[in-house]
Amino acid sequence: MIPAFEHRTLFFAFCTFTGERETFDRWYDEEHIPQVMDTTGMVGAQRFVVADTKPLAGTEPVDFGHAALYELDGSPAGFREEVKRMLMSGDMVLPEFMVQPFTALFLEPVSEPHHSDRFAGLTDLDDRHLWLVFSERPEQPEAYDKWYDEEHIPQVLAAPGFVRAQRFVTSGVKPLPGVVTPEVSHLAIYETIGDLGPMREDVKRQLVSGEMVLPEFMKLPFGSMFLRPVSPFFPAKGAGS
């Protein structure tokens, strides 16, 4: 199913682990994710790892480890409080193979979602791949936002496989206890269905040919992360489509 949102917010939990991946995957999919599926605002979750897609010129690869993406509708404040309560009460126990502290981000949107024509034909998100692009959003963001929404994102969405893009900033919601929160001024998230390689090649072609021009206010290099899925998309009960 493809969930619908009124106000899409995100929680990224990045981590590393020791021991067997099979044990880690089973715990995440069969125990941990089901525990948060009934929290306030929860729409769905999916797990990713860094893909072997070659970085684009002018970017710096970012690797925080395994990425769990939780998609919410509305403020993440209620979700945060309920997860904190489960951790403090012992209802949620993190295994010893989870290396702490985790890196985590609560994100608020600063744009509406942008969809390509392909989005309407989707029936699931199981083969969703992500491209995360970190950049500096200026204090006076009008020109930056206008360029991103009216010029840049439409150019990127024309590349093979892209289905959706949206821009986010760090939420004002207080981080969970015991996590590391990286400084993120602005995060653009591009979603493809299928391998990221054809998309990368098309964006590279646009940059080399001059079809895609980055304005002077875009400070290079950008942080960039290509992610591939290692789980299906888990929808929460009652998540609308």
Residue 208 phi/psi, 5-degree rounding, is -65, -40
**How does residue 237 score in pLDDT terms, banded at 50, 70 and 90?**
confident
Asked whether the predicted pLDDT for residue 169 surpasses 90, the reply is yes
Domain extent, residue 215, equals: 8-235
User: How many separate domains does the chain show?
Assistant: 1
Residue 166, domain member (yes or no) = yes
What confidence tens digit (pLDDT) does each residue in 16-39 have? 999 999 999 999 999 999 999 999
Residue pair 235/45 in contact by the 8 Å Cβ criterion: no
Residue pair 155/89 in contact by the 8 Å Cβ criterion: no
Asked whether the predicted pLDDT for residue 13 surpasses 90, the reply is yes
Residue 3, domain member (yes or no) = no
Produce one character per residue of 123-150: b if its CB has 16 or more CB atoms within 10 Å, e if not: eebeebbbbbbbbebeeeeeebeebbbe
Query: What is the percentage of the chain residues whose pLDDT exceeds 70?
Result: 99
Residue 76, domain member (yes or no) = yes
Q: Which long-range contacts (CB under 8 A, 24 or more apart) does 204-208 make?
A: 204/56, 204/57, 206/155, 206/159, 207/56, 207/57, 207/58
Asked whether the predicted pLDDT for residue 240 surpasses 70, the reply is no
Query: pTM value?
Result: 0.95
Angstrom distance (rounded) from CA 155 to CA 177: 39
> Which residue, 107, 129, 139, is CA-closest to 198?
129
Asked whether the predicted pLDDT for residue 239 surpasses 90, the reply is no
Q: What mean pLDDT is predicted for residues 165-171?
A: 98
Question: In a 3-state reduction of DSSP, which class is residue 17?
Answer: strand
Residue 86, domain member (yes or no) = yes
Asked whether the predicted pLDDT for residue 219 surpasses 90, the reply is no
Q: CB-based contacts of 96: which residues, under 8 Å, 6+ apart? A: none
Provide the pairing of β-strand 222-229 with 59-61: parallel
What confidence tens digit (pLDDT) does each residue in 29-76 have? 999 999 999 999 999 999 999 999 999 988 999 999 999 999 999 999
* pLDDT of amino acid 241: 60
Residue 1, domain member (yes or no) = no
Residue 240, domain member (yes or no) = no
Q: Which CATH number fits the domain that encloses residue 46?
A: 3.30.70.100
Residue 51, domain member (yes or no) = yes
Residue 20, domain member (yes or no) = yes
